[in-house]
Amino acid sequence: MFGKEKIVKTLNIEGMSCMHCVKKVEAALKEVKGVKSVNVSLENKTAEVTLKEDVDDSVLKKAVEDAGYEVV
């Protein structure tokens, strides 16, 4: 379905204040089925999520919120 195209979604995240927060968000997003890789930036307050298959935004948002942070 996706062939060689990759899907990248960027989430804006509030509540991260340290590298521990970054690792927690990365771990939560990597647990989501269909996620290939995650790159979280504390400075930019973003998470760039590369997907193997289409994943609904609400699923990614829930993973971040369950980890204790807010997607804005």
Structural domains of the chain in order of their starting residue, each with its CATH number = 7-71 (3.30.70.100)
Q: Which of 42, 44, 43, 47 is closest to 65 using CA atoms?
A: 47
- Parallel/antiparallel/unpaired status of strands 7-14 and 46-51: antiparallel
- 10 pLDDT exceeds 80? yes
Write down the H helix ranges in 8-56. 19-30
Q: What is the pLDDT of residue 6?
A: 80
Residue 25 is encoded by which pair of tokens? 């968000």
pLDDT confidence of residue 3: 56
Average pLDDT, integer, range 8-18:
98
Q: Is the pLDDT of residue 53 over 70?
A: yes
Residue 56 has pLDDT above 50, yes or no: yes
